[in-house]
């Protein structure tokens, strides 16, 4: 062994005697023996090494489109009752459908189903990964999987806006997935989404307005976008709409209808918004991961709650046209503190799951449904400045 490596290990061995090094185990350093320890007479029997009693694969998603990736994790239960993630051997039954690397990263290659297996400690686990061709772009609302109230997602550009194909490269679909996973964990509800064959139905639309014309409309831009979509026959009466707008806005990163005071069925995220005195909106990552909430994901949920009428003026902590004043970690907070959304209606007294029958409760909305279980979702970025989305 190289002498500098040996001295580094000796230093680590000293460290491991001095302090708890639980965190280092995850880096694999535990495999190094601290051989310089002086021999000692055992004072008690050495405990038996724990063995793997069961192995499972954790998959954030098992339905992929060609080109998409997903990281699988192997988790072992041990004979002593503990459990944890383990290094496993990975294999794909059909590499023409999906490949898997040594870390468990699956890449969808072609349409079909492949069984991905993990082996560790003499145990094996398997998960079926289904791969489909991407839906591609649609300028019309595709046939609905479900009837009744539902949330439809759109990718809208100004007449001269750069087409980043966010509807085709799964950026918007991943952003929506993150919102659904987070909302499920926070409320055990999720939006009733407009899907086609089980996949998010995203409509593409290009406005007649130029980027410059639209930018100057400020928070009122949502109204003009709704008018144009309505005149073009793109809006259905049983749907609410979340628009990812690839253009600028000189006032905010998002705005929305807020019935009954501001009637409408559309909420818009201004991806290239440039509000005065704040960083450009597009410095926030969009749709980074189905298990990570960023600024845009919280904003999307925030704007759609506005479209559903939240926060109603009868709510005890209502402030600033549709927001709550109590706590900057509330999804619907607005005020002087930086917005750090994590929770839905803190205290359950203003807009979600409260017991004031006379005031709007989003929990009862037909646009929400019981969630089908939730994934662990982390927040990224933040704290973010307060939304300036009133109009």
Closest CB to Zn ion among residues 194, 389: 389
Least separation in angstroms between CB 379 and Zn ion: 18
- Nearest-angstrom CA–CA distance, 298 and 308: 15
Least separation in angstroms between CB 318 and Zn ion: 12
Subset of residues 143 to 162 that bind Zn ion, contact rule: CB under 5 A: none
Least separation in angstroms between CB 326 and Zn ion: 15
What number of other Cβ atoms are within 10 A of residue 343's Cβ? 17
What number of other Cβ atoms are within 10 A of residue 66's Cβ? 15
Closest CB to Zn ion among residues 92, 325: 325
Q: Rounded to whole angstroms, what are the CA distances from 48 to 45, 51, 80, 84, 359?
A: 9, 9, 10, 18, 61
What is the DSSP secondary-structure string of 43-67? SSPPPPPP-EEEEEEE-S-SEEETT
Least separation in angstroms between CB 324 and Zn ion: 10
Closest CB to Zn ion among residues 330, 389: 389
Least separation in angstroms between CB 311 and Zn ion: 9
Closest CB to Zn ion among residues 226, 389: 389
Give per-residue burial for 236-258: e unless 16+ CB within 10 Å, then b: eeebbbbbbbbbbbbbbbbbbbb
Least separation in angstroms between CB 357 and Zn ion: 25
Q: DSSP label at 384? A: B
Asked whether position 118 contacts Zn ion by CB under 5 A, the answer is: no
What residue ranges in 158-299 does DSSP mark as E strands?
Answer: 189-191, 195-196, 199-200, 202-206, 239-249, 254-258, 262-273, 292-293
3-state secondary structure of 180: helix
- Nearest-angstrom CA–CA distance, 148 and 380: 34
Subset of residues 371 to 390 that bind Zn ion, contact rule: CB under 5 A: 387, 389
Structural Rg of the chain based on CA atoms: 25
Order of strands, edge to edge, in the sheet holding 63-65?
Answer: 63-65, 123-132, 112-120, 89-92
| Helix, strand, coil share of the chain (percent; to 5) | 20, 30, 50
- The residue among 209, 208, 192 whose CA lies nearest residue 200 is 192
Closest CB to Zn ion among residues 205, 244: 244
Closest CB to Zn ion among residues 127, 321: 321
Least separation in angstroms between CB 255 and Zn ion: 8
Least separation in angstroms between CB 321 and Zn ion: 8
| Residue 171, H or E segment | helix 171-187
Residues in contact with Zn ion, counted by CB under 5 A, come to a total of 2
Least separation in angstroms between CB 386 and Zn ion: 9
Closest CB to Zn ion among residues 180, 299: 299
Closest CB to Zn ion among residues 173, 387: 387
- Residue with smallest beta-carbon separation from Zn ion: 389
Closest CB to Zn ion among residues 361, 389: 389
What number of other Cβ atoms are within 10 A of residue 65's Cβ? 17
Tokens of 242: 């979340």
Least separation in angstroms between CB 339 and Zn ion: 9
Subset of residues 5 to 24 that bind Zn ion, contact rule: CB under 5 A: none
- Nearest-angstrom CA–CA distance, 163 and 160: 9
Closest CB to Zn ion among residues 290, 341: 341
Residues 331-370, one symbol each (x = binds Zn ion by CB under 5 A, - = not), give ----------------------------------------
Closest CB to Zn ion among residues 108, 387: 387
Least separation in angstroms between CB 252 and Zn ion: 9
Binding residues vs Zn ion (CB under 5 A): 387, 389
């Amino acid at each position: 062994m190289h002498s500098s490596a040996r001295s580094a290990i000796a230093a680590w061995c000293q460290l491991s005697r001095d302090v708890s090094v639980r965190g280092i185990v995850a880096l694999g350093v535990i495999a190094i023996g601290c051989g310089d320890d002086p021999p000692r007479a055992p004072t008690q029997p050495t405990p038996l090494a724990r063995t793997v009693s069961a192995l499972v694969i954790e998959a954030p998603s098992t339905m992929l489109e060609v080109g998409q990736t997903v990281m699988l994790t192997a988790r072992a239960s041990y004979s002593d009752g503990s459990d944890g993630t383990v290094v496993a051997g990975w294999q794909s039954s059909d590499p023409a459908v999906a490949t898997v690397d040594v870390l468990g990263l699956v890449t969808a290659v072609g349409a079909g189903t492949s069984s991905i297996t993990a082996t560790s400690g003499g145990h094996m686990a398997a998960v079926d990964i289904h791969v489909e061709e991407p839906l591609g772009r649609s300028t019309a609302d595709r046939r609905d999987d479900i009837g009744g109230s539902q949330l439809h997602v759109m990718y809208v550009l100004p007449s001269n806006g750069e087409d980043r194909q966010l509807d085709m490269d799964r950026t918007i679909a991943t952003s929506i997935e993150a919102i659904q996973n987070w909302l499920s964990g926070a409320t055990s509800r999720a939006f009733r989404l407009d899907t086609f064959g089980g996949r998010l139905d995203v409509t593409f639309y290009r406005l007649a307005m130029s980027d410059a014309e639209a930018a100057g409309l400020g928070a009122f831009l949502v109204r003009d976008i709704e008018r144009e979509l309505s005149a073009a026959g793109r809006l259905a009466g049983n749907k609410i709409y979340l628009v990812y707008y690839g253009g600028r806005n000189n006032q905010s990163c998002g705005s929305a209808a807020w019935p009954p005071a501001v009637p409408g069925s559309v909420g818009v995220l201004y991806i290239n918004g440039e509000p005065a005195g704040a960083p450009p909106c597009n410095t926030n990552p969009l749709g980074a991961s189905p298990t990570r909430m960023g600024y845009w994901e919280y904003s999307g949920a925030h704007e759609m709650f506005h479209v559903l009428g939240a926060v109603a003026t009868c709510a005890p902590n209502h402030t600033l046209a549709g927001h709550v004043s109590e706590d900057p970690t509330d999804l619907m907070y607005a005020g002087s503190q930086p917005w750090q959304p994590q929770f839905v209606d803190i205290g359950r007294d203003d807009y979600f799951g409260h017991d004031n029958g006379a005031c709007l409760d989003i929990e009862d909305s037909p646009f929400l449904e019981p969630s089908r279980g939730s994934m662990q979702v982390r927040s990224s970025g933040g704290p973010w400045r307060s939304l300036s989305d009133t109009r």
